[in-house]
Chain A
Amino acid sequence: QQPVQSPQAVILREGEDAVINCSSSKALYSVHWYRQKHGEAPVFLMILLKGGEQKGHEKISASFNEKKQQSSLYLTASQLSYSGTYFCGTETPDSWGKLQFGAGTQVVVTP
């Protein structure tokens, strides 16, 4: 089952912060985050495994609450280069290898 992302879209000014949420109705084993720019392939940002890890990539970080089956991606002090569509992908313990993506959150960072 696909994870649910929110919000669907967000518009930011440079330097502002944003949070993207990803939730699942099933117990999760791992959460993956990818960013896709228009006309390009998705690019890996980070993986979070069960255990509540918080990882970072530049000023982008994420957390994973396995009890709530939720993950959040934090865009801090956003830059123009952060614009794109962010996808979370989830794996369940009984079907690892089957990474299923949400519908995406479109992020637009303006000057």
Chain B
Amino acid sequence: DAGVTQSPTHLIKTRGQQVTLRCSPKSGHDTVSWYQQALGQGPQFIFQYYEEEERQRGNFPDRFSGHQFPNYSSELNVNALLLGDSALYLCASSFRLADNTGELFFGEGSRLTVL
């Protein structure tokens, strides 16, 4: 059973460019959450997608946008990249429960470096 897969694993961009990161959730999961993790810090919640809609959003600017497809896979798009966007981007999938976020399964992440 494949777990959460993310691509690409590493990428380098320059300031002002745009990037798209992709995530395939664990089989049977219908919810995808995206996190940004700077070096030595905890994961910061970006947003969560369920039924192809953004359900929750953290304190990130509109430059960060996402999408969820009918097969539950998801994309994270970041426009007008800044140096401060350099981080590990983690995708986490889960099965939506009625009253709480269930167990999150994390992918290995996409390491973004902005020069």
User: Which residues of A have CB within 8 Å of B105?
Assistant: 44
User: Which residues of B have CB within 8 Å of A30?
Assistant: 100-101
Tell me which residues from 67 to 111 in chain A have a Cβ below 8 Å from any Cβ of chain B: 87, 91, 95-104
User: Which residues of B have CB within 8 Å of A47?
Assistant: 100, 102-103
Q: Is the CB of A96 within 8 A of B109?
A: no
- 24 inter-chain pairs at a CB distance below 8 angstroms, sorted by A residue, are A2-B42, A29-B100, A30-B100, A40-B108, A41-B4, A41-B107, A41-B109, A42-B90, A42-B106, A44-B105, A47-B102, A49-B100, A87-B42, A95-B56, A96-B99, A97-B33, A97-B48, A98-B48, A98-B56, A98-B58, A100-B44, A100-B45, A100-B58, A101-B35
Size class of A's contact patch?
20 to 34
- Complex Cα–Cα for A98 and B35 (A): 11
- Complex Cα–Cα for A8 and B41 (A): 11
Q: Is the CB of B101 within 8 A of A91?
A: yes
- 5 smallest CB-CB distances across A and B, nearest first, come from A41-B106, A101-B42, A98-B56, A97-B56, A44-B103
- Complex Cα–Cα for A102 and B40 (A): 11
Q: Is the CB of A99 within 8 A of B42?
A: no
Judge if B16 is at the interface, Cβ distance under 8 Å. no
Q: Write the B1-19 contact mask toward A (1 if CB under 8 angstroms, else 0).
A: 0001000000000000000
Q: Is the CB of B42 within 8 A of A104?
A: yes
- Complex Cα–Cα for A104 and B103 (A): 18
Name the CB-closest residue of A to B96: A97
Judge if B55 is at the interface, Cβ distance under 8 Å. yes
Assuming A97-B48, A97-B55, what are 9 further A-B pairs, CB within 8 angstroms?
Answer: A29-B99, A32-B104, A41-B90, A44-B104, A44-B105, A87-B42, A98-B45, A98-B57, A99-B45
Say which residue of A44, A87, A98 sits within 8 Å of B43 (CB atoms): A87
- Complex Cα–Cα for A109 and B64 (A): 38
B56 to chain A, nearest CB (A): 4
Centre residue among B4, B102, B107 by max chain A CB count within 10 A: B102
